[in-house]
DNA sequence: CTTGCACCCTCACGAGGCGTGAGGGTCAAC
DNA sequence: GTTGACCCTCACGCCTCGTGAGGGTGCAAG
């Protein structure tokens, strides 16, 4: 029988000696036998097992799970692999999103803000609405439901052209405010106040009813609290969430 | 000035209190000031900074790098973001590959080995050749160069149909051997020996010259040592690298 | 047999990014 | 003044090894 030392096994399997020590320590891969001198000796069976370990490790499966996995037979291994496949897909999608965000951020930093409305503003339409709705009701109670229903109707009765125009207006307002942030303009200043008034008007239009100071302040809280909004605003400019909401609150306070 | 406690800042930024403590410890985000009672108080400036930190953290940038990053101005940040974008792309591709490997493995485990030759065997053609070449020369010295050149010519002068047929033959041999592994057949047995003879013949054909016992044994070493080959064989069946090479060595030994 | 060198062993700390208590002050409202 | 809800500072744990320190072992050449 060919017996491999740690070094040899390490060399042909591509791991380090320390890794073999570690796997021995945690009981994941024990040597075929240990010499009187304390040397670890591995045989073919261990090499096979190690290769299976490394196969699964590739996918980021933690070592203790690999240990359990190897006790199972083929049937169950397929199931586990499939579950892990989903995780990998989720990760892959996440990376794709991150890359997109970077691209947008760089475009923004370079002043090439020619991004299409449909891109950055799509978060406001379709499927996401349900999620926001559930969130708002949970947070603000049932009295929110009417407002939501009204907003949905208002959006629905807009033509596509009108929606586009509305999004353009929102975009302009936000870009102007972001410019204020970049220039270090006080969010409570008069200049910002004027843009905020436009923003509030936009909100009122979207809701299809007046937007009270209280409601506007509540909206600022929503922006601060819901990760989707935070992400959206931080994508426009880091720190923009706080800048916008501070300005909104200041505006609401003046009205009170 | 509004001063936020740890809890409050944690709530609106979505991190935990412990994280704020940690960031303070490592100097990444220090409070605006600390009360006499030892309480940390944060203001808008810190919130802005925290949001930038979280923005970058999303991409997996380590905290110490984020700290350096935030000292830079916009220009350099773009450069860093671009560099990180590449890392993300590499990761995304890696995940895509892993998913593919899982799919193939599952297909294999379920006996649905209907994978296209071009898929699993593409590793043997085109760009990868240069890499193997460099590796072989580094490992076996210049005397390897002639062999490589001959193999390349042999492959080049094959028609596409011939290449396909060759790949089919290799595939059949490997599947038969993998079946031996699954059934626990001794890799030194006569049954395996017969398949190995076919394998060696295939190699000789690919090299366009006889494959000596010594060369065949050396090839087994290559399979064991080069990660690409290991990965390829482990994809066919975990443990197949060792099974195949053991059989190859046994075959070579009988000839000597 | 000695010398040397490559290999083997066992601790044990470190890194990254916090989670999770333990043990004990502080603040605001009732 | 008493409750809670906060706040603080240690300090260990997690996970997978990397990286020494300090010291024994095996094999070949001189």
Classified as helix, coil or strand, B131 is helix
> Do B74 and A246 lie within an 8 Å CB cutoff?
no
Any chain A CB within 8 A of the CB of B90?
Answer: no
- φ/ψ of residue A42, rounded to 5: -115, 150
Across the interface, of B52, B59, B230, the residue whose CB is closest to A238 is B52
Check residue A73 and give its pLDDT. Answer: 62
Check residue B226 and give its pLDDT. Answer: 66
Higher pLDDT, A13 or A35: A35
Q: Is the pLDDT of residue A137 over 70?
A: no
> Do A95 and B88 lie within an 8 Å CB cutoff?
yes
Burial of B46 (0-12, 13-18, 19+ CB in 10 A): buried
- Nucleotide nearest residue B40, measured CA to C1': D7
> Do B224 and A44 lie within an 8 Å CB cutoff?
no
B14 neighbourhood in chain A, CB within 8 Å: 227, 230
B191: tokens are 């049954």
Q: Of the given ranges (B142-156, B188-202, B218-232), which has the lowest mean pLDDT?
A: B142-156
Q: Which of residues 32-71 of B touch A (CB under 8 A)?
A: 44, 47-48, 51-52, 54-55, 58-59
Task: Give dist(CA A168, CA A160) in Å, integer.
Answer: 12
Check residue B206 and give its pLDDT. Answer: 67
Max mean pLDDT range (A139-153, A211-225, B29-43): B29-43
Model confidence at A222, pLDDT cuts 50, 70, 90, reads confident
Q: Which of residues 92-111 of A touch B (CB under 8 A)?
A: 92, 95-96, 98-99, 101-103, 105-106, 109-110
By the 8 A CB rule, do B29 and B36 touch? no
A39 touches strand C (CB under 7 A): yes
- Nucleotide nearest residue A41, measured CA to C1': C8
Task: Give dist(CA A242, CA A221) in Å, integer.
Answer: 10
Tell me the CA–C1' distance in angstroms for A18 and C12: 14
Average pLDDT of the residues of chain A: 73
Strand D nucleotides in reach of protein CB atoms, 7 A cut-off:
6-9, 15-19, 24-26
B64 touches strand C (CB under 7 A): yes
Q: Is the pLDDT of residue B19 over 90?
A: yes
Per residue in B176-223, pLDDT (tens digit) is 788 888 877 888 887 787 778 778 777 766 665 667 777 687 778 777
By the 8 A CB rule, do A63 and A28 touch? yes
Mean pLDDT score, B2-31: 90
Q: Is the pLDDT of residue A68 over 60?
A: yes
Model confidence at A192, pLDDT cuts 50, 70, 90, reads confident
Task: Give dist(CA A31, CA A73) in Å, integer.
Answer: 22
Per residue in B96-119, pLDDT (tens digit) is 877 776 776 666 555 433 333 333
Model confidence at B228, pLDDT cuts 50, 70, 90, reads low
Check residue B109 and give its pLDDT. Answer: 55
A239 neighbourhood in chain B, CB within 8 Å: 47-48, 51-52
By the 8 A CB rule, do A66 and A53 touch? yes
> Do A51 and B238 lie within an 8 Å CB cutoff?
yes
Any chain B CB within 8 A of the CB of A11?
Answer: yes
d(CA B179, nearest CA chain A) in Å: 14
DSSP string for residues in B58-119: TTT--HHHHHHHHHS-HHHHHHHHHHHHHHHHHHHHHHHHHHHHHHHHHHHHTT-----HHH
Higher pLDDT, B33 or A239: B33
Check residue A24 and give its pLDDT. Answer: 96
Any chain A CB within 8 A of the CB of B112?
Answer: no
Per residue in A162-185, pLDDT (tens digit) is 665 666 667 777 888 888 888 778
Check residue B18 and give its pLDDT. Answer: 95
């Amino acid at each position: 029988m060919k017996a491999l030392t740690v070094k040899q096994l390490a060399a042909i399997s591509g791991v380090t000696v320390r890794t073999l020590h570690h796997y021995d320590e945690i009981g994941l891969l024990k040597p075929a036998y240990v010499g009187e001198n304390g040397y670890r000796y591995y045989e073919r069976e261990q090499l096979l097992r190690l290769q299976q370990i490394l196969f699964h490790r590739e996918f980021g499966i933690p070592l203790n799970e690999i240990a359990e996995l190897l006790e199972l037979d083929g049937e169950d291994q397929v199931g586990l692999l499939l579950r892990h496949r989903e995780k990998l897909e989720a990760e892959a999608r996440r990376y794709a999103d991150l890359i997109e965000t970077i691209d947008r951020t760089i475009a923004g930093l370079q002043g090439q803000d020619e991004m299409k409305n449909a891109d950055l503003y799509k978060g406001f339409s379709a499927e996401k609405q349900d999620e926001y709705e559930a969130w708002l009701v949970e947070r603000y109670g049932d009295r929110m439901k009417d407002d939501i229903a009204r907003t949905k109707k208002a959006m629905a009765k807009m033509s596509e052209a009108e929606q586009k125009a509305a999004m353009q207006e929102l975009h302009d307002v936000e870009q102007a405010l972001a410019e204020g942030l970049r220039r270090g303009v006080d969010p409570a200043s008069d200049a910002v106040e004027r843009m905020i008034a436009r923003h509030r008007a936009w909100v009122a239009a979207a809701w299809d009813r007046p937007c009270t100071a209280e409601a506007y302040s509540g909206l600022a809280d929503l922006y601060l609290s819901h990760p989707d909004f935070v992400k959206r605003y931080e994508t426009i400019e880091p720190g923009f969430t706080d800048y916008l909401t501070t300005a909104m609150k200041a505006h609401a306070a003046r009205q009170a």
